[in-house]
Structure 1
Amino acid sequence: MRTATTTTAAAAILAALPAPAWAAEAIDGAGLSLAWAVPFAGLLLSIALGPLVAARFWHHHYGKITLGWALAAAVPLAFVFGTGPASQAIAHALLLEYIPFIVLLFALFTMAGGVLVRGNIHGSPATNTALLAIGAVCASLIGTTGASMILIRPMIRANDDRRHNVHVVVFFIFLVSNIGGSLTPLGDPPLFVGFLRGVDFFWTTRHLALETLFVAGTVLAVFFLLDSWLYRREGVMPRDPTPDTPALALLGSANFLLIGGVIAAILMSALWKPGLAVEVLGNRLEVQNLARDAILLVLALVSLKITRREWREENRFDWEPIREVAKIFAGIFVCIVPVLAMLTAGKHGALSALVALVSHADGSPNTAAYFWLTGVLSSFLDNVPTYLVFFELAGGDARTLMGYVPGQEAMAATLAAISSGAVFMGANTYIGNAPNFMVYAIARQGGVKMPSFFGYMLWSGLVLLPIFAVATLLFFA
C-alpha cells in the first residue's frame, strides 16, 4: 500500500515539518461538531478497507478516492467559513506541513534507493533478534525512516526461505520504524519539533532511556520467543529465493554523504533565523525553510545522478510507493484540518471530553492520560501535530515541561509521557508513522503476505497494548 526504499537519517524525517503554527489557526474549532471529522474518518476507513475488500479497484483509484475525501473536507470549510479562511487553513497544512514532509521523504527515498546491501544471511531467531536490536538503536541515530529503509530489504531476504515471516516485518515496524526512535530529536519527527520548541537535545535521551529500554526490550523478548516457536515448527522451504552468502557488501555509500547533507540542511533551518519570509494566502513561508527544501531537492537529484542505475534496479527501486504516499498524505493533511481545529479548541471544542481527561480534579496533569491520549491520537492522526497539541495543553513552555523551573520538576514526567506516547504508539497502525507505510509496501513488493489494516492492529493490540499498559504502571502512574 505504501512506500518503498528510503534511507537513513530520517531522524530528520519530519524535521522538515516546522513547528506548526496550526493549520487549524484560521478555523474556529470551538464551533465544529464531530460531523466535521467524517472526511478524515472516511479516508482512514478507505485506507483500511480498500486493499482488503477491493484491492484492484483501490490500487487503480486510490488517488481519486483520496481526492474525493479531501474535497469533502475542503468544500464545506469554504462554504461555512468563507474561501479566505478555508484557503488559509488548507494552504497552511499543505505549504508549511505537507510539502516539507513529502520533500524530505522524497529526498530520503531517493537516496535510500541508491544504497544497496548485497548478499544474504540466514534469518534464524537469534539473527533476526540481533538485526531488530541493531535497527532499534540505529533509529535514534539516523532516524526511524533511515533505519527502516536501510535494513528492511536485508531483513526480508534473510527470511524469504521461511514459511512464516509476516511476524518478522510486523515486529520490524514496531521496533525499527517506531519505538527505537525515541532517544534523540533525530529519531522521530515529534521529538525534533520538541527540540525546535526548546527541549534540550539530550533531554529525551536522559528521560526516556528507561521507558525505551523496557518497552523495546520486552518487545524483543516477545519476538524471540515467538520466532523461536515458529522456526522450530515450520520446516524449511523447498528452495531459498536468495541463497545465503559468506559476506554482505554495501554499495552506493556516497548516498550517506548526501544524507549527511540532509541533516545539515535541517539543522541549518533550525539554527539560521534571518527573519525573512514570503507570504502565501496568509501564511508566512520562512526563507530558511524554503532554502532547506530546495537543498533537499538538489541533494535528491545529485543522488540520482551519481548512483549507478543497476544498483537501483537490483534494489527494485521504483517511484510508485512514494507517489502513493504523496497522494494519500496530501488527503490526510487536508482532512485533518477540522480535526486539529477541534483539538486546538481544547475544552471549548467537540473533543473537550478528551482534553478534560489529561487533568486531575485538582488541576494537576494526569500523566497516564497524556501518555495514552497522545499515543492513541498519534496512532491515527499525524504524530507531529498531536504532540504539539498536548505540548501546548501541558503549558507549552519547554523549560517548565523539562522540569527546570523550581517547583515544577514533576512536569518532566508529563513531557516524557507526551514524547513516548507520540513515538511508541505510532506503531499501533500502518498510518501511525510514515516509515510504517514504506515498510509495508516494500514487504508486500517482496512477497510477504502482510496483514490488512485491521489485521495489523490485531497484532499491535495483542503485543504492544499490554506492554504499554505495564509501562504506564511503571513510569506514568
Structure 2
Amino acid sequence: MKPWRLAARAALVMGALLLGGLAQAAELDGSQLSVWWGVPFAGILLSIAVMPLVVPFFWHHHFGKVAAGWALAFLLPFALTFGPGVALVNFVHALLAEYIPFIILLTALFTVSGGIYIRGNLHGSPGLNTAILGIGAVLASFMGTTGASMLLIRPLIRANDNRRHVAHVVVFFIFIVSNAGGSLTPLGDPPLFLGFLKGVDFFWTASHIFPETLFLVGSLLGIFYMLDWYYYHKREEMLPQDPTPDSRSIGFDGAHNFVLLGGVVALVLMSGLWKSPVSFDVAGTEVGLPGLVRDAGLVIITLLSLRLTPARVHEDNQFGWGPMQEVAKLFAGIFLTIIPVIAMLKAGVNGPFGAIVSAVTRPDGSPDVAMYFWITGALSSFLDNAPTYLVFFNTAGGDPHVLMTTLAPTLAAISAGAVFMGANSYIGNAPNLMVKAIAEDRGVKMPSFFGYMLWSGGVLVPLFILMTFIWFL
C-alpha cells in the first residue's frame, strides 16, 4: 500500500476514534447549567428585535455578522468551560440533526414555490384576500406551513400591490397560513411531525383539535375581512396606477413545480415512515439513511427546479435569494445559541427552569391542561416549537398510547400550544421570518419585531384566552 494511502487511512481511523471518544464523554447535563448560558440566545433575539429599528443600515448589511458574534459568544465560553469535546458534539448535533435538514427543506420549498408564477392580475379585494388566506389554511396541513406560505405569499402581495395598506394582509397571512393552518396533520408543522415519529396516529390531531383549529382560523378570517374591508374602502386607499397590468389571462407559469412540490412532501413523509437500521455516527449524532435520502432528494429537486424553470418566470416572480440568505444566517445563530436553553428545559424539574416544568402539574399529580397549553405556547413563541413540543410531550409521560387516550386533552393542549402560538413572534415558526423577508423584499413596510407582537397580542392572545375557557379548563 502506498504511504500516502496508509497515512490517510490511519488519520481516518484516529479521527473516528477521537470523535467516538468525544461523543461518549460529551453528554450535556442541563441540570448543571446556569440560566446565564441563555444570555447569547436572548442577545440574538434582542438584536433581531431592536437593531432594525435603532441601526437599520448597519443591521441590513451586517446581520449575519451579528448572528455569528452571538454564536461565538456562546461557543467559545462553552468550550472553555466544558471542554472542546462537549462543544464539538453539541455543535455537530445542531448542525447535522437540526440546522442542515431545516435549511435544505426551506431552500427546496423557497426555490420550487418561487418557480410558480400566477399569470394575470388578481385584485386584492377583502373577499379575494380572505379566500386566499382560507385556501392557504387548508393547504398548510397537507403541504406544510412553509410550503403553503412560500406558494401563496408572492401572488397575495402582487394582488395587493395597488393598495397603500398591505402590512396587515401579510400579518394575518402569518397568523393563518404560516401557523394555525398547519395544525391538522403531521405534514403541517414540525412539532406534529415529531409526535407522529413518537407514535401519535397520523389523523389524531385532526380528530382532536379540529374544533379549536376551526374556531381560531374562522375567527381570524372574520377579523381580517372586517379590517381589510375598512382599509379597502378608505379614501385614497388605491394607488393611481396598478403596478400589475390586466393584459394577461389568469393561469400558471412553471406548473411543473407543482410536481416537484409534491415530491418535497413525499420525501418528508417518507423520512418519517421509513424505518432503516442503517445509520452513521458523526461525533455522537446519529444520521439515519432515511434522513440522508430525504435531504439528497430535496437538493436534487431544488436543482431540477432551477434548471427547468424558465428565467422569465423567476423575473416575473421577482425571485431572489435575499430572503433565504437572511433566514439562513439568522437561524444559524439561533440554532446554536438555543442549545443550552433546550438542555435546561430537558432537565425538567431538576434544571434551572424546573419551576416552569413543574407548573404544568397540579398538586395531586394530574396534568394542568391549561398550563400545558400556555407554557408550551409561550415557549414556542420564542424557542423552536419542535423541541419545545417534545419536552412537554415527555413531561406528560411520553407514552403515545396513554397520551392519545387517557391524557388526550393534555396532548391536544401541547399540540395546539406549539402550533398556534408559534404565530406570536417572527421567530416562533420558520416561515414567519421568511414571509416577512419576502414581503420587505417586495417593498411592503412590515411591523418591527415588537410591532408585530402588538398585533399578535391584540388579536391572537384574546382568542387563545377564549379557547382556554372553552377547551382547556
Q: Secondary structure at the match of 1:284?
A: strand
Aligned partner of 2:469 among 467, 470, 473: 473
Number of the residue aligned with 1:9: none
* Structure 2 equivalent of residue 366 of structure 1: 368
Instruction: Give matches, 1:75-474, under 5 Å.
Output: 75-235=76-236, 236-244=238-246, 247-403=249-405, 408=406, 411-474=407-470
| Cα distance in 1 for residues equivalent to 2:443 and 2:140 | 25
Counterpart contact for 1:121–1:245, Cα < 8 Å: no
Deviating more after overlay: 258-267 vs 286-295:
258-267
Aligned residues: 447
Are residues 1:74 and 2:75 paired?
A: yes
* Cα distance in 1, alignment partners of residues 356 and 80 from structure 2: 28
Structure 2 contact 119–248 (Cα < 8 Å) conserved: no
Contact 1:27 1:86 in 2 (8 A): no
Distance (Å, rounded) in 1 between the aligned partners of 2:409 and 2:310: 49
Show CA shifts across 1:51-97 (max 9, x none): 11111111111111111100111112212211112211121111111
Distance in 1 (alpha carbons) for counterparts of 2:425 and 2:235: 28
Answer yes or no: is the 8 Å Cα contact 2:64–2:329 preserved in 1.
yes
Q: What is the aligned partner in structure 1 of residue 13 from structure 2? A: none
Identity %: 60
- Contact persistence 1:114–1:311 (CA under 8 A): yes
CA distance in 2, matches of 1:312, 1:154: 13
Is residue 120–residue 154 contact of structure 1 (8 Å, CA) maintained in 2? no
- The answer on whether the counterparts of 1:39 and 1:69 sit within 8 Å (CA) in structure 2 is yes
Deviation at 1:245, TM superposition (A): 6.0
Match of residue 21 from structure 2:
none
SS of 2:401 mapped into structure 1: helix
Q: Which residue of 2 aligns with 1:10?
A: none
> What CA distance in whole angstroms lies between the structure 1 residues aligned with 2:332 and 2:42?
15
Mapped to 2, the partners of 1:230 and 1:262 lie a distance apart of 37
Q: 1:414 and 1:43 mapped to 2: Cα distance?
A: 32
SS in 2 for 1:143: helix
Query: How far apart, in 2, do the equivalents of 1:89 and 1:47 lie?
Result: 24
Deviation at 1:147, TM superposition (A): 1.2
Worse-matched range after superposition: 51-60 or 338-347: 51-60
Secondary structure at the counterpart of residue 310 of structure 1:
helix
Greater displacement, 136-145 / 463-472 = 136-145
Amino acid at match of 2:202: F
**Distance (whole Å) between structure 2 residues aligned to residue 60 and residue 233 of structure 1:** 36
| Residues 420, 244 of structure 1: alpha-carbon distance in 2 compared, 3 angstrom cutoff | farther
TM-score by length of 1: 0.91
Check whether the contact 2:143–2:265 (CA below 8 A) recurs between aligned residues.
Answer: no
If asked which structure has higher relative contact order (CA below 8 Å, sep 6+), I would say: 1
Residue 461 of structure 2 aligns with an amino acid whose one-letter code is: L
TM-score where L is the length of structure 2: 0.92
Task: Report the structure number with the largest CA radius of gyration.
Answer: 2
CA distances 1:286-313 after superposition (whole Å, capped 9, x unpaired): 1221121111111111111111111111
| Distance in 2 (alpha carbons) for counterparts of 1:442 and 1:343 | 33
Which amino acid in structure 1 is aligned with residue 280 of structure 2?
A: V
- What displacement does 1:246 show? 7.5
Instruction: Say if 2:326 and 2:437, in contact at 8 Å, map to a contact too.
Output: no
Q: Secondary structure at the match of 1:380?
A: coil
Task: Determine the C-alpha separation between the residues in 1 that align with 2:243 and 2:347.
Answer: 54
Conservation of the 8 A alpha-carbon contact between 1:185 and 1:194? yes
| Residue identity opposite 2:448 in structure 1 | S
RMSD, matched Cα: 1.3
Q: Secondary structure at the match of 1:185?
A: coil
Report if aligned partners of 1:152, 1:439 keep a CA contact under 8 Å in 2.
yes
Shift of 1:325: 1.1
**Is contact 1:163–1:234 with CA below 8 Å preserved after alignment?**
no
Deviates more, 1:350-359 or 1:150-159: 150-159
State the shift of 1:233 in Å: 2.0
> Any conservation in 1 of the 2:104–2:299 contact (CA below 8 Å)?
yes
| Structure 2 unmatched ranges of 5 or more | 1-25
Other-structure match for 1:11: none
CA distance in 2, matches of 1:191, 1:245: 43
Moved more, 227-236 or 133-142: 227-236
Consecutive unaligned residues in structure 1, runs of 5 or more: 1-24
Deviations 1:10-35 (A, max 9, x none): xxxxxxxxxxxxxxx82111111211
* Aligned residue type for 1:270: G
Question: 2-side partners of 1:157 and 1:318: how far apart?
Answer: 15
Per the TM alignment, residue 107 of structure 1 is displaced from its structure 2 partner at its CA by 1.1
